Homo-oligomer: A and B are copies of this chain.
């Protein structure tokens, strides 16, 4: 349903679409060759570049009736920025590949560019390139680059028994927001819905954790229990989270009313809800935790059995995360 006021991508040439996108994309001071050539050139002052990629697919990661183009752009940028933060690095640049069905309004694509810019600009990251194609569904594939600023990358494998486990960011809000949308009850708590549509990872906390000496870190994208296991496994340790009512009291409070209304389990949202994109890190005992990290558990020796426990016991929740191909 195109109109002169709101043409679809099929109404416009590729060059015309790009001309609508470019003005919205953020520039970054480290961009030596900007978009428009075969490739962009970005400063990598550290002599290393950190790189990660994440893809969002319509109907699987978002629905167009729930998420605007700007929401999807924000989310695509935010989850990529979180991956760079999780290495202890500073994001510098993003490139974006967009697959768009013929009926996608050009205004949706402009929104996507605005959302990318809104999420990336505050962190000094520019959008330096992209590609555009037709296709059967909207696919947004973002690759992000980062700079370590002289720091050693913080990997998943460095947790040691005796370390403190700490978390920065919110827990369970994205899952609760999605549950509200699925129940057609967005009106109950628009703030939680916004947490699903536009997750706000603590990007700057990644570099702060690295400076404070974090021994391991990751972006919690698939749920706290599952992702804690992704530190525990490679590190050969057990992660024992503090009781949820203690470690995540503020998150449970925030979710309580909606959990009641939807007859849902706020504890489950906190432990297994995905896509909040908080940072989970371990620090040597005695480290002064950099804000906004707070203690949520401890690292114990691995014993070959459960790699993640809560209050010393196997967690009592169904599932431990989600799988992109689960049926």
| A71-102 vs B, Cβ < 8 Å mask (1 yes, 0 no) | 00000000000111011010001011111001
A14 x B52 contact (CB < 8 A): no
B55 x A219 contact (CB < 8 A): no
Quick one: closest B residue to A137, CB to CB? B136
A87 x B41 contact (CB < 8 A): yes
CA distance A135 to B61 in the complex (A): 10
CA distance A144 to B145 in the complex (A): 11
Q: How many monomers of this chain does the complex have?
A: 2
A39 x B54 contact (CB < 8 A): no
How many interface residues does A have (CB within 8 Å)? 75
A135 x B139 contact (CB < 8 A): yes
B133 x A41 contact (CB < 8 A): no
**Given A44-B47, A51-B42, A323-B13: A87 and B33 interface contact (C-beta under 8 Å):** yes
Pairs A–B under 8 Å by Cβ, sample size 24: A9-B325, A13-B323, A32-B153, A33-B50, A33-B155, A37-B155, A37-B156, A39-B144, A40-B51, A41-B153, A42-B49, A43-B49, A51-B143, A53-B96, A53-B141, A55-B131, A56-B133, A57-B133, A60-B133, A97-B143, A102-B327, A132-B324, A137-B137, A139-B141
